[in-house]
C-alpha cells in the first residue's frame, strides 16, 4: 500500500506539472500545534467574545493572542473524541473514530481485531500527493497503534524505541534507558521547541512543508519550569485558584502536583505558548509567514475541573469533553475574526488537500470537508461534508456507553444500554443545562434517525462486543499471569521467600482482574450519564 501511495504521488506530481493550478513555490506550509487535554477556556484568548468565561482570567498565552489577532478563532470547534488516542487517529485520517473503528482509549475490540491504520490516507499523504517536494514531520506524542513514520511522515522523533505513542507522557529524555528529563525540559517542551525550530530553519522557504507538533503538555502528570511557576505565584489570583495553590512547593501535595496545581498548570501552558511564539518567529524569519497555515488546537476537552463554563470535561461527551480551543492564521484566512460555524478536526485532511492543490479525488468514505470557505468567509460560509452532522460513537466499557450527534444547533445524546436520551441546543445553551428531550421529541427523533443511519453505514462497534472483548482480554491477562507465576516458582528452586513473593504477586494480579471484571459488569447495568 505504501508503494501504491508512492505511485499515486508520482502520478499526481506529473498531473500537476501538466496542469499547474498551484505552482510549487506557492504551495503553502502547514503547522499544527496539537495540545494534549487543553480546555476550551484555558487560554487567554476568549473562544467566544460574548462569553468572558471562555478565556482564563489567570493563564497567559500572549503568542496565541497574536495568532488570533492575525487569524481566526472558532467558538464551535470540536475534537473528534473526548480522549487522546481516537482523536489523534481521526485528525490524521479525516474520519470519525467510529468509522476508523477505534473509539476510546484502549479500545479492546480494535486491539482484538489487530486493526492497523497504515493504509489510510493521512494528513502527510495528502500534501505529499499534491507535490512530492513537500517534507513532512511529526514531533511529540503519537497516535498509538501505528508509528507516525508508517503513516507518511518523513521525520519523526519516535526514534529510540518501538513506542507508538511517542514518549509516554513526555516524562523521559530517552525511552530506551528511561532517563528522566532535566528540570529545564518538563514534558519535553524544550525538546519539541528545538526539533520544530530546526525543522523550520532547515526547510522554510526552500521546500513546502507540513509539521505537526504534538505536545505532551498539558496532560497529567503536570510539570513546569520552576521559574515560570514563580512568575504565576506573583500574578493576580484567578477565580479558580485556591489558597493551597499558593503554598510553598514542598508543601503542595503530590496529587495536586500531578493533576491540579493551577500555578504549575499555568506555567506549563506558558511554555507551550512560548513554543508557539518561537515557531511563529522562525516562520517569519524564513519569509514564509504569509504562506504558512498555523493551527493551534487540543486533542480533547479540558482535564481540569472546573472546565470554564462548560459541562463535563475530558473523557465524557458533554461539551467540556469535546469542545476545544481552535485558532488559525494563514494565507487567505480572515484576520481578527471569530467564526461560529461548527468545525471538527476531521475536517483538516480535506482542508490540507484543498490548500495544497492536491488534484486527486478524496476518498469517498471521509467525514470531513474543506474549511477553506469558513477560513475565507467566516460565518457567511458553510462546510460541505460527505455526511450530516458530527457523530461521536463511544461504546466504552469503563464509562457509560453513549452516542452523540450534533446536527445544526442541536445535540442528542443516547445511552447504548438504557436508551436514555438527552437533547440540548448547544448553539445557545452550550453549558448544557436545559435538557429539551421532553419538549422537542420531533427534533430528537430527527437527530436519532440521522445518527442511526450513520452508525449502520460505518458498521459501528457494538458495546456488547466491546464487553466481550474486554472479558476475553482479562482472561488472557489472567492466563498470562498464571504462566508467569509458574515460571517464577520454577526459578525459585525451593527458595521459600521467592515462592512467597511470587504467590503474593499472583494473588494481587488475580484480585485486580476480578476487580476489573466487577467494574465492567457494573457498567453493563447501564449507569446514567
Q: Tell me whether residue 93 or residue 375 sits nearer to Ca ion (CB atom).
A: 93
CA atoms within 13 A of residue 56's CA, in its CB half-sphere: 30
**Residue of closest CB approach to Ca ion:** 84
Please tell me the total number of residues recorded for the chain in this structure: 529
If binding is defined by CB under 5 A, does position 300 make contact with Ca ion? yes
Provide the minimum distance between the beta carbon of 179 and Ca ion in the complex, in angstroms, as a whole number.
25
Contact between 467 and 524 under an 8 Å Cβ cutoff? The reply is yes
Provide the minimum distance between the beta carbon of 301 and Ca ion in the complex, in angstroms, as a whole number.
9
Q: 464, 465, 470: which is closest to 517 by C-alpha?
A: 470
- Binding span for Ca ion by CB under 5 A among 22-30, 166-174, 296-304, 398-406: 296-304
Taking the C-alpha atoms of residue 52 and residue 279, their distance in angstroms, rounded to an integer, is 28
Q: Tell me whether residue 99 or residue 141 sits nearer to Ca ion (CB atom).
A: 141
> Where on the phi/psi map is residue 304: left (φ > 0), alpha (ψ -120 to 50), or beta?
beta
Among 16, 29, 33, 37, binds Ca ion (CB under 5 A): 37
Q: Tell me whether residue 156 or residue 300 sits nearer to Ca ion (CB atom).
A: 300
Residue position matching grid coordinates 509539521: 211
If binding is defined by CB under 5 A, does position 354 make contact with Ca ion? no
- Binding span for Ca ion by CB under 5 A among 299-307, 424-432, 465-473, 491-499: 299-307
Residues in contact with Ca ion, counted by CB under 5 A, come to a total of 5
Q: Tell me whether residue 79 or residue 469 sits nearer to Ca ion (CB atom).
A: 79
- Please list every residue from 60 through 89 that binds Ca ion, using CB under 5 A: 84
Q: Tell me whether residue 135 or residue 304 sits nearer to Ca ion (CB atom).
A: 304
Provide the minimum distance between the beta carbon of 317 and Ca ion in the complex, in angstroms, as a whole number.
15
Q: 503, 480, 356: which is closest to 29 by C-alpha?
A: 356
Among 36, 107, 273, 432, binds Ca ion (CB under 5 A): 36
Contact between 170 and 140 under an 8 Å Cβ cutoff? The reply is yes
Taking the C-alpha atoms of residue 355 and residue 371, their distance in angstroms, rounded to an integer, is 10
Taking the C-alpha atoms of residue 318 and residue 413, their distance in angstroms, rounded to an integer, is 9
Provide the minimum distance between the beta carbon of 229 and Ca ion in the complex, in angstroms, as a whole number.
23
Among 299, 319, 432, 478, binds Ca ion (CB under 5 A): 299
If binding is defined by CB under 5 A, does position 42 make contact with Ca ion? no
Other beta carbons within 10 Å of 93 = 25
Residue position matching grid coordinates 523550520: 200
Contact between 50 and 299 under an 8 Å Cβ cutoff? The reply is no
- Binding span for Ca ion by CB under 5 A among 196-204, 294-302, 382-390, 423-431: 294-302
Interface residues with Ca ion (CB under 5 A)?
A: 36-37, 84, 299-300
Amino acid at each position: 500500500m505504501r508503494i501504491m501511495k508512492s505511485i499515486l504521488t508520482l502520478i499526481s506530481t506529473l498531473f500537476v506539472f501538466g496542469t499547474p493550478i498551484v505552482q510549487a513555490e506557492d504551495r503553502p506550509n502547514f503547522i499544527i500545534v496539537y495540545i494534549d487535554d487543553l480546555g476550551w477556556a484555558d487560554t487567554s484568548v476568549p473562544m467566544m467574545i460574548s462569553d468572558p468565561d471562555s478565556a482564563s482570567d489567570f493563564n497567559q498565552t500572549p503568542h496565541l493572542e497574536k495568532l488570533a489577532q492575525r487569524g481566526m478563532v472558532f467558538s464551535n470547534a470540536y475534537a473528534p473524541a473526548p480522549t487522546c488516542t481516537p482523536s489523534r487517529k481521526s485528525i490524521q485520517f479525516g474520519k470519525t473514530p467510529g468509522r476508523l473503528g477505534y473509539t476510546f482509549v484502549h479500545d479492546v475490540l480494535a486491539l482484538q481485531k489487530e486493526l492497523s491504520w497504515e493504509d489510510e490516507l493521512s494528513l502527510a499523504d495528502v500534501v505529499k500527493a499534491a507535490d512530492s517536494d513537500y517534507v513532512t514531520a511529526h514531533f511529540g506524542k503519537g497516535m498509538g497503534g501505528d508509528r507516525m513514520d508508517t503513516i507518511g511522515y518523513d521525520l519523526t522523533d519516535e526514534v529510540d524505541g518501538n513506542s507508538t505513542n511517542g514518549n509516554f507522557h513526555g516524562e523521559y529524555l530517552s525511552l530506551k534507558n528511561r532517563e528522566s528529563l532535566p528540570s529545564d525540559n518538563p514534558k519535553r517542551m524544550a525538546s519539541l521547541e528545538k526539533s520544530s525550530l530546526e525543522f523550520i530553519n532547515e526547510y522554510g522557504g526552500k521546500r513546502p512543508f507540513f509539521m505537526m507538533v504534538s505536545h505532551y503538555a498539558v496532560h497529567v502528570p503536570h510539570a513546569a519550569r520552576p521559574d515560570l511557576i514563580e512568575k504565576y505565584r506573583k500574578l493576580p489570583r484567578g477565580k479558580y485558584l485556591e489558597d493551597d495553590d499558593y503554598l510553598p512547593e514542598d508543601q503542595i501535595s503530590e496529587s495536586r502536583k500531578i493533576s491540579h496545581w493551577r500555578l504549575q498548570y499555568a506555567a506549563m501552558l506558558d511554555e507551550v505558548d512560548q513554543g508557539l511564539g518561537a515557531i511563529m518567529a522562525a516562520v517569519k524569519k524564513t519569509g514564509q509567514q504569509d504562506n504558512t497555515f498555523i493551527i493551534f488546537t487540543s486533542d480533547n476537552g479540558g482535564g481540569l475541573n472546573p472546565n470554564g463554563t462548560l459541562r463535563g470535561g475530558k473523557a465524557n461527551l458533554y461539551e467540556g469533553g469535546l469542545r476545544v480551543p481552535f485558532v488559525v492564521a494563514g494565507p487567505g484566512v480572515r484576520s481578527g475574526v471569530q467564526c461560529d460555524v461548527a468545525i471538527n478536526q476531521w475536517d483538516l485532511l480535506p482542508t490540507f488537500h484543498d490548500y495544497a492543490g492536491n488534484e486527486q479525488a478524496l476518498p469517498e468514505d471521509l467525514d470531513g470537508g474543506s474549511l477553506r470557505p469558513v477560513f475565507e468567509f467566516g460565518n457567511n460560509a458553510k462546510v460541505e461534508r460527505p455526511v450530516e452532522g458530527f457523530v461521536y460513537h463511544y461504546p466504552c466499557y469503563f464509562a457509560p456507553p453513549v452516542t452523540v450527534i450534533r446536527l445544526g444547533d442541536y445535540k442528542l445524546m443516547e445511552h447504548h444500554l438504557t436508551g436514555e436520551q438527552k437533547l440540548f441546543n448547544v448553539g445557545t445553551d452550550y453549558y448544557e443545562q436545559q435538557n429539551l428531550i421532553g419538549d422537542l421529541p420531533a427534533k430528537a427523533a430527527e437527530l436519532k434517525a440521522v445518527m442511526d443511519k450513520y452508525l449502520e453505514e460505518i458498521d459501528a462497534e457494538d458495546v456488547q462486543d466491546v464487553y466481550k472483548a474486554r472479558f476475553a482480554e482479562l482472561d488472557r491477562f489472567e492466563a498470562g499471569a498464571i504462566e508467569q507465576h509458574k515460571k517464577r516458582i520454577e526459578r525459585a528452586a525451593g527458595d521459600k521467600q521467592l515462592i512467597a513473593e511470587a504467590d503474593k504477586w499472583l494473588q494481587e494480579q488475580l484480585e485486580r482482574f476480578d476487580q476489573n471484571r466487577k467494574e465492567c459488569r457494573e457498567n453493563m447495568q447501564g449507569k446514567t450519564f
